[in-house]
Amino acid sequence: MEKPVVILFSIVVLCCLVLSGCQNQGTVVSDMSSKIILDSHGLVKFINSSMERISDKTKGVESVKAGWMFENIAGRMISININVQFFDSANKLLYNQTKQLENMGPGYREQYYSPANWVLFSGPDAAKVDHVVISTTEIT
């Protein structure tokens, strides 16, 4: 009775050792939130921001996703452009996208991340991204 238990235990240990060298080759997400520069021009207060590098080793796809959440501190109804710029380490602009948010009442505060408040930059130059600048300007 003891011999089958020892054999079974040995097989389990051997399988664990063999499989311990396996690596996940799927999607890897790296937090880069410390590489965000925020410029609100006194219109909004950024309450949260994030930037992550997304690598899918199986498909060879690289992308960078930058997101934000903010609160209207202007004390009045405002409409704004949110400009998101991705730069390399030499401060060369790699990608730029502008989103608009209209008729934000005083004290308006975003509650969660959604596609409306993030930008995804994909392609071969996405691997070069060093930092992101998120800025706001008022639409007059």
Q: How far apart are CA 130 and CA 83, in angstroms?
A: 17
- Would you say the pTM of this structure is higher than 0.85? no
The answer to whether position 47 is within a domain reads: yes
Confidence of residue 10 (pLDDT cuts 50, 70, 90): low
Please give the backbone phi and psi of residue 117, each rounded to the nearest 5 degrees, phi first: -125, 40
Residue 127 and residue 88 in contact, taking contact as beta carbons nearer than 8 Å: no
Q: Which residues of 108-122 are buried (b: 16+ CB within 10 A; e: fewer)?
A: bebeeeeeebbbbbe
User: Which residues have a Cβ under 8 Å from the Cβ of 139 and sit 6 or more positions away?
Assistant: 79, 80, 81, 100, 102
CATH number where 115 lies: 2.60.40
For the chain, the average pLDDT equals: 82
- Write the pLDDT tens digit of every residue in 13-26: 555 444 444 444 45
**What are phi and psi for residue 100, nearest 5 degrees?**
-115, 145
Asked if the structure places residue 128 within a domain, the reply is yes
Q: What is the pLDDT of residue 40?
A: 81
Q: Looking at the domain assignment, is residue 18 inside a domain?
A: no
Domains identified in the chain, total number: 1
pLDDT band at 33 (very low <50, low <70, confident <90, very high): low
Which residue from 22, 24, 23, 28 is spatially nearest to 56, judged by alpha carbons? Answer: 28
Query: What confidence tens digit (pLDDT) does each residue in 61-111 have?
Result: 689 999 999 999 999 999 999 999 999 999 999 999 999 999 999 999 988
pLDDT above 70 coverage of the chain, percent: 75
**Is residue 4 a part of any domain in this protein?**
no
Range of the domain at 39: 25-138
